[in-house]
Amino acid sequence: MEGASAIRDKAIAYVKEAVREDQGGEYEAAFKLYLTALEHFGVYLKYEKNARMAETVRGKYKEYLERAEELQKIVRGQKEGREVSGTSASGAQKPKGAASDADGELAKMKGQLGGAIVTEKPNVKWDDVAGLQGAKDALKEAVILPVKFPQFFTGKRKAWSGFLLYGPPGTGKSYLAKAVATEADSTFFSISSSDLVSKWMGESEKLVSQLFALAREQAPSIIFIDEIDALCGARGENGESEASRRIKTEILVQMQGVGSSAGKVLVLAATNTPYSLDQAVRRRFDKRIYIPLPDEAARAHIFRVHVGETPSDLTDEDYQMLGAQSEGFSGSDIDHVVKDVLYEPVRKVQEATHFITVKNPAHAPTGTDAQDEYYVPCSPGEPGSWPSSLEELARLGYAARVLPPPITANDFRKVLLRARPTVAPADLEIHERFTKEFGEEG
């Protein structure tokens, strides 16, 4: 690989070209050259050992980034056939035909991004998210207050513009984002890397640009980027493509602009691997909140939420017991345990050799008449039981009258004996170290 000074010299050469095009009124060409220069400066800063030199370049990096943002607005204005305020040498606009071509391109990209807009609220309330009070409070500050009480944010008090949720897999980061989508009176964009990565050269950066333009157009809005590390991994990684670097640079440019959007656009992102995130992207997030494994009380609540309205004999004490016996389990692990337990009553019916007739049992389907009879599996010694099997009852035409028994605490104990948590202690140590260095507890 080239040395740091050689990379810096290339960046400077690109800047000189960019300035020349900028002064000549070729704003689109200048914008692209500034982006290329910024990419090279980003790689240079990763390897430069001289702190004073690196600090000087960081100052220039910010200056060129701001100019790139201005040029982007000018270029966008030219394509849309309107004047854009900014530091431009001339107000030259493209011919009407070129403008309509650009409009068609924008419409096509809007169509590609249309599926990312969450039009139906996911119906996940704040209370459905177990624990994580710190994260919920911080998100309410960022999402609810600026919309409901804009007068709170005056002078130097600005609304948060970037939130990074990080932690082990399955701890509820995406679930928390769904709660934000439900509770916020904002347009919600849910994005993954596949929504923004295109096989066509240069189109991915345009999609990123159009996403943020659409978010500003439909403000107040929230952009949720799941697994952001897939888009914004550390620069200079082996195998990193030119397209990947350009997407990253475009996201940096756009997030810088979000900071001056007066609280109208919030970028919310989630990652399981925070150290793999590019450091420049990481700095764009005002708040970096650790979403840890649920504690005992939160685990008990998650069990209760996932069991829901399914017929069960579980008491409050049983849920407390489940919370205590699932140490180290993530929310996703508990979800899988409950899914397994939900089949235990079905397995009992399949394995049953004896049934008992019950009139209008408590767990019968809604609308059951008081005289309706159902067949419930039982032990051979239970009074009133009679021998049969599920297949036999179905053959006789009684399939609709067979009811599985309610879920019991023993069903959970049986499944928990064979279940294992999926998050290793070593993974937790990585996230806890990142929290000490860059984040805060959720």
205 part of a folded domain: yes
Residues 38, 36: Cα–Cα separation, whole Å: 5
Secondary structure of residue 359 in the 3-state scheme:
strand
Q: What is the reported pTM?
A: 0.67
pLDDT of residue 413: 95
CATH of the domain at 72: 1.20.58.80
Question: 268: closest CA among 254, 245, 286, 283?
Answer: 286
CATH number for position 334: 1.10.8.60
Q: Is there a domain that residue 104 lies in? A: no
Query: Residue 342: inside a domain, yes or no?
Result: yes
If asked whether residues 354 and 252 sit together in one domain, one would say no
Weakly modelled stretches of the chain, pLDDT under 50:
1, 83-103, 105-106
Q: What is the per-residue burial (b if ≥16 Cβ within 10 Å, else e) of 47-79?
A: ebeeeeebeebeeebeebbebbbbbbbbbbbbb
Residues 135, 157: one domain? yes
Q: Are 411 and 341 members of one domain?
A: yes
| Degrees, nearest 5: CA angle 232-272-417 | 160
Number of domains, the chain: 3
In a domain, 151, yes or no: yes
The secondary structure element, H or E, covering residue 369 is none
Exposure string for 391-419, b = 16+ CB within 10 A, e = fewer: eebeeeebeeebbbbbbbbebbeebbeeb
Give the pLDDT of residue 84. 45
Whether residues 198 and 161 share a domain: the answer is yes
Q: Are residues 69 and 217 located together in one domain of the fold?
A: no
Residue 105 lies in a domain: no
| Cβ-contact 93, 44 below 8 angstroms | no
Tell me, yes or no, whether 255 and 124 share the same domain.
yes
Is 72 domain-assigned? Answer: yes
**DSSP state letter for 399:** G
CATH of the domain at 201: 3.40.50.300
Residues 6+ apart with CB under 8 A from 24: 89
Do 250 and 312 lie in one domain? The reply is no
Which residue's structure tokens are 């966008």?
76
Bridge partners of 269?
Answer: 164, 225
User: Are residues 281 and 312 both part of a single domain?
Assistant: no
Host domain of residue 350: 296-422
Residue 108 lies in a domain: no
In a domain? residue 90: no
Q: Which two tokens stand for residue 381?
A: 């010694």
Give 148's DSSP letter. H
Closest by alpha carbon to 407, among 318, 287, 296, 297? 318
Whether 25 and 146 map to the same domain: the answer is no
CB 61 within 8 A of CB 8: no
Based on the fold, state whether residues 67 and 143 are members of the same structural domain: no
Are 439 and 290 contacting, i.e. CB atoms less than 8 angstroms apart?
A: yes
Euclidean distance between CA atoms 316 and 184, whole angstroms = 32
Rounded CA-CA distance 252/270 in Å is 16
Residue 136 and residue 75 share a domain? no
